[in-house]
Amino acid sequence: MESLSKRAKVLEKKPMTFAERAYLPAIFQGLTITMRHFFRAATKKQVTVRYPDETRPFSPVFRGLHVLKRDEAGRERCTACGLCAVACPAEAITMVAGERKKGEENLYREEKYAVSYEINMLRCIFCGLCEEACPKAAVYLQADKMAPPRFERDEFIYGKDRLVEPVTPDNRSKRGIQLTPEQADKLRSQMQTV
């Protein structure tokens, strides 16, 4: 087939020499580049950050750890509409909706609330689409906190006990496991007395 520009260049295929066939020049060329970078790196500034003892500065548009916000009265803002879960491209958010019972008006803003709300941090890509999709401004990605390093996979599944803004810091769980019904009742009674 003829080219459109009619500027064809004829290439000759020269036979390879013995050294080229043995790949010796390519090996030595690669080794010289490696040694040059090795000795140049020793004189350069250290680029390794010893996390978590040291942290590098965050970008102004950094999206970090998730938090479920409360309103001014201390009630959960999330109404379990599911828009954050639908907007999540990694499908990291799962939730179960429930209806508010009588006497729980000071716990939840609307009649519908999230009984269970979980984010799998191993799947999350921290894109911020869940924050943008939320009509109640309940999901927020903190600009100053990163997900801490963990050793077990189940510690990366953040439940409501780790995501909801705490009323008091001692109510926070150490791991991302949902509260048992007894713990939830205890927390509700504590919140009602406050």
**66-111 pLDDT tens trace:** 999 988 888 888 999 999 999 999 999 999 999 988 888 778 878 8
Report residue 109 as tokens: 């803003």
- Alpha-helix runs per DSSP H in the chain: 18-21, 24-43, 83-87, 129-133, 160-163, 181-193
Instruction: Please state the pTM of the whole predicted model.
Output: 0.60
Looking at residue 118, its pLDDT comes to 95
Looking at residue 3, its pLDDT comes to 61
Give dist(CA 126, CA 75) in Å, integer: 25
Nearest to 95 by CA among 122, 68, 60, 57: 68
- Per the listing, tokens 């000071």 go with 106
Average pLDDT, the chain: 82
E strands in the chain: 66-68, 93-99, 112-120, 139-141, 157-158
**Would you say residue 174 has pLDDT above 50?**
no
**Would you say residue 169 has pLDDT above 50?**
no
Q: Which of 7-16, 124-133, 153-162, 181-190 is predicted least confidently?
A: 181-190
**Would you say residue 173 has pLDDT above 50?**
no
Higher pLDDT, 4 or 61: 61
